[in-house]
């Protein structure tokens, strides 16, 4: 699995950082920051997938 983010379309909802804090964070403006592009354990992969489905702007992308 590979995780990517598009900071240009991020609306700062924060669902990614709340759902998968080991994978995502937000900068001072609330824009998504990717912490881990390839989550190593199943819990991190599962929460990253969930964050991808919850992202209202589509800024989070999961590539299996």
The pLDDT tens digits for 6-40 are 999 999 999 999 999 999 999 999 999 999 999 99
- Measured CA to CA in angstroms, residue 44 lies from 11, 13, 27, 31, 61 at distances of 23, 20, 20, 20, 14
Could you tell me the pLDDT band of residue 61, with boundaries at 50, 70 and 90? Answer: very high
Look up the pTM and report it.
0.94
CA distance 36 to 24: 7
For residue 42, the SS3 value is: helix
What local confidence, expressed as pLDDT, does residue 15 receive?
Answer: 97
């Amino acid at each position: 699995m590979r995780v990517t983010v598009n900071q240009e379309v991020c609306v700062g909802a924060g669902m990614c950082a709340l759902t998968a804090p080991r994978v995502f964070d937000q900068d001072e403006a609330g824009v998504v920051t990717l912490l881990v592009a390839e989550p190593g354990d199943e819990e991190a992969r599962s929460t990253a997938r969930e964050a991808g489905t919850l992202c209202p702007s589509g800024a989070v992308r999961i590539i299996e």
